[in-house]
Amino acid sequence: MAYKRISSLGAKEFIENKGDVVLLDIRDKDSYINGYATGALHLTQESLPSFLAGTSKELPVLVMCYHGNSSQMVAQFLSEQGFAEVYSIDGGYEEWGA
């Protein structure tokens, strides 16, 4: 199953309407600490195993990076791990905060 791409505005609306979703921020630690989208979980190489083991694969997952490029690779990976509904946020955090 492949991931889908979604605009930052579309992602915000999706979260508002759907409610129970997982929003992931894959930027580096310092960037995350300096600001992140409300409710975003910081996904790192270190936290990945516990995320995979402890997160329902039925929940929609939205992945955010800086500009929307790296998030596509992570979204594809999560799709391959069996997550049913995965989105890469186009424009990333940069567009999210705009």
Whether residue 89 contacts residue 68, with contact meaning beta carbons closer than 8 Å, is answered with yes
Enzyme catalytic residues? 65
d(CA 80, CA 64): 18
Task: Return the beta strands (E) in the chain as ranges.
Answer: 4-7, 22-25, 41-42, 61-64, 86-90
d(CA 97, CA 80): 29
Query: Which tokens sit at 87?
Result: 């989105």
